[in-house]
Each structure stands twice: as C-alpha cells, then as structure tokens.
Amino acid sequence: MPKVTETHKEQRRQAILNAAEQVFLGKGYQLATVDDIAVRSGLSVGALYRYFSSKSEIMLTLMEERLGRTPDLLERLTADAGGPWDQMSRCVDIFVLALRVRHPSTGRLLLVAWGEALQDRIVREGLLDRFRGVVGYLRAVIERGIHSGDFRPDADAEVLASLLMCLADGVTLYWAANTPGLELQPIRATVMSMVRSYLSIQ
C-alpha cells in the first residue's frame, strides 16, 4: 500500500474544512451533519473521522484557522511600525482592508459561529479564545504607548482593547449581512478619532 504523504493528509484536511465551511454557511450549524460534510468533501464518513472527531471539532478548527489568527497577522504587519500611534492606526487599517479583500465567507462564518455560541460550549469557547487573543495584542500595544509616554497614563488598556474588538466584530457581522449604507472609510476615520481623543495626553 502506498504511503500517504503529509502533504496529501493536509490537502484532505483542508478539503474537509472547506466543505464544512460551505455546509455550515448553506444549512446552518445545527442542521449540518457530518454526513453532509463528508459528501461535500468527497470523502467517506470514516475517512473524515480520521481527521476530526466531531462536528464541533471541525467548527472549532475553522474558527482557529480562519478567524483566530488575527493576533499573529497584526503583529507581523505592524512589526516595523514607527511607534504606538502608528501601530494603532495600522491595526484599524488592517481590519478595514481585511473586510474589503477577504473572502466574504469569512464574515459569514463568524455570523454562524455567533449564532451557535449560546448553544454549543465548544463554539463559545472558540469565540472567547479568539476574543482574548486579539484583545491581548491590542492591550499590549496600548500599554507600550502608556509606558513610552505617547498615551495618557490613566488609560484603561483592557477596556479600550475590548471595546475595539467588539466594534470590529460588530462591523464584521453587519458587513457579512450586506447591511446597506455601511461605509468602511468613514467608520475607520471615526474609530481613529475616538481612539485619539481617548488616548491623547491632555
């Protein structure tokens, strides 16, 4: 029997995730079944279970790999920033750019995940992990600005970071729902104005 390479295994794994994303978006998480995902991926149910133990694990993996890597992305794309203000501005720009160019299913996947968060503990924990990751990165940027003297010393880094994450997800959910009149550039300018108003030293 020919040996299955790691590359082939990863291709199958990604095929399952791609199929699951389409099934979840098409039927909703609750109505979707492992059988649906297997059929969509072109694999047998038995083959699918060699990669994932449950529907919840598939959803959690989708959230980790397609929604949860934002902190790494932000850190990489702001590594050469000139200072805390530049880092904050770039973070907002990256968020706006991601909505403009990212595959539209990403926002809809977040919408599906939020819809299931109250019913499925694993999905809820996945969303909380994602929240903690992004908030942790933003909090660190704000704290560096406080320590360097660029931001006001009494700024609450945790609260501001959490608020920015809530704003970002709120815009993402409405963007995914094709809400009329949602203009990203005015939102970007207003968010930065709010951040500057709060963090600037008086």
* Domains of the chain, first to last: 6-53 (1.10.10.60), 64-199 (1.10.357.10)
DSSP 32-55: --HHHHHHHHT--HHHHHTT-SSH
> Does 19 or 68 have the greater pLDDT score?
19
Is the per-residue pLDDT at 1 higher than 50? Answer: no
DSSP classification of residue 200: S
* Helices 84-101/121-148 angle, 10° precision: 150
Strand stretches in the chain, DSSP E = none
Q: What is the pLDDT of residue 138?
A: 93
Residue 67 binned pLDDT confidence (cut-offs 50, 70, 90): confident
Residue 116 binned pLDDT confidence (cut-offs 50, 70, 90): confident
Average pLDDT, the chain: 87
The first and second tokens of residue 153, run together, are: 């010393």
